[in-house]
Chains A and B, each alone.
Chain A
């Protein structure tokens, strides 16, 4: 009982404290940029692709901004304009509806947050965000310009061997093992697990996306997923949470390199925990393709108490591509050709899994 009161007190204090802080903030110096111009139009580029172009003008130049996919809403392009006020521009603006649907503007403390809803997942659209200087002839002020294309253009096309049918619209979480402060295992020639897992995972994501799969990655660069000071559980749970944040996610695939004290250990193996038969089916589907594509020694599928597998709510598997501690396999893992071969094999395994699930 005493605990509940304690918590309540903290909550009330937090809210009131924040409120007072908020009023203090709004009294602080006024923001630097204020919007004073808005314009949008559609156009066709030289390749005949349709684009929507949005211009947001403002009173001063040197705007700082961030742009990217909304972390939880894949259909939104999210922009944060630092030190900017919405001014007289409307809160909500309807757009062309074929490429971009709407645009919401919201003041967030000193920044302006702009969310642009696009028709498909943002990964399906090529987009550019840049600033343009004031154009006196055209009577346009300094602007932030956003251009969104109807498709993703030539940036991600598949070769014939990468064409995987029947997986369009599925959602896959890809987890490149280790990263940041955690190098993972290190090979005899100092090849680091975290670098190889990221390269293979990015290739897996590229192939899947090109085949219409919605991909979420736990990391896309060399970072700790939770943070450099995290405990092991925080770090591993953060990876699991990426899937939990996306209820539409069908499967979780973690990609690793194996290691053992003795350099003679070799081969490719896939792990599952076994909440349901789907876990072992997913593991076996990937294992079969990995063995067929790489010709490596088949270690088979094994059930194991691995954190990311045990705590996953969706079918999950951990692929141990090859032994980085084995000099021969370390060389293989380090080659772009083998990374591609393995990525494609993993994607084919994923496709086979989805096919057998119907």
Chain B
């Protein structure tokens, strides 16, 4: 009786050791996965730059995205962030709806290769009511606005630096999304 108990305890200890060993082996790979890449955007002029961009907002029926042109001022900060901020500010057009919840905070926009990473705080998920259509147009407005820049082909939405599989349980946002042309028609 005592012997079996001792054996059992020893086995559990061995297991823990073995598991810990495997864990250490995996750990060094993780930092590579999360690059805190700051946009390699070199502002050509330190003075204010004016830029006319297209922002995408859904119509009130949520049947399509409508492009709205807006001239934004790009100071030292990069134009990608400015574009998302302009999208979050919204539009005066009463036929259009601003889908990004007001409580959501933009933490950063970075570009790597042809992919833009847009990072929000948890407010984006917490204050968004959901629905397939809501989620499609939320994601679509961001993706289509950023892919207006010819050098950007894909957009990855992250929450506090981490990739999320879905915003509200429908769309698969685990991988970068390419332009959602089906919403523009």
Chain A interface, >50% SS class: mixed
Size class of the A contact interface (CB-based, 8 Å)? 35 or more
Q: Are A6 and B21 in contact (CB under 8 A)?
A: yes
Stretch at the interface among A8-16, A48-56, A69-77, A287-295: A8-16
Q: What CA separation (Å) do A306 and B173 show in the bound complex?
A: 9
CB < 8 Å neighbour of B61 from A13, A259, A266: A266
Q: Are A16 and B11 in contact (CB under 8 A)?
A: yes
Q: Is A24 an interface residue (CB 8 A)?
A: yes
Q: Mark B139-151, 1 if CB is under 8 A from A, else 0.
A: 0000000000000
Stretch at the interface among A89-97, A182-190, A343-351: A182-190
Most A Cβ at <10 Å: residue of B1, B98, B134: B134
- Known contacts A2-B25, A6-B18, A231-B165; decide if A261 and B172 are in contact (CB<8 Å): no
24 CB contacts below 8 A, A to B, read: A6-B18, A7-B22, A9-B14, A10-B15, A13-B15, A16-B11, A17-B15, A20-B11, A24-B8, A27-B1, A182-B169, A232-B166, A233-B165, A235-B169, A257-B131, A258-B131, A260-B58, A261-B129, A264-B60, A299-B63, A299-B133, A304-B170, A307-B166, A324-B131
B residues with CB within 8 A of A: 1, 4-5, 7-8, 11-12, 14-15, 18-19, 21-22, 25, 58, 60-63, 97-99, 129-134, 136-137, 164-166, 168-172, 174, 177, 182
A residues with CB within 8 A of B: 2-3, 6-7, 9-10, 13-14, 16-17, 20-21, 23-24, 27, 177-178, 182, 184-186, 193, 231-233, 235-236, 256-262, 264-266, 269, 271, 299, 302-307, 310-311, 318, 320, 323-325
Known: A2-B25, A269-B133. 10 other contacts (CB 8 A): A3-B25, A17-B11, A20-B4, A23-B4, A185-B129, A185-B130, A233-B166, A256-B131, A261-B99, A323-B133
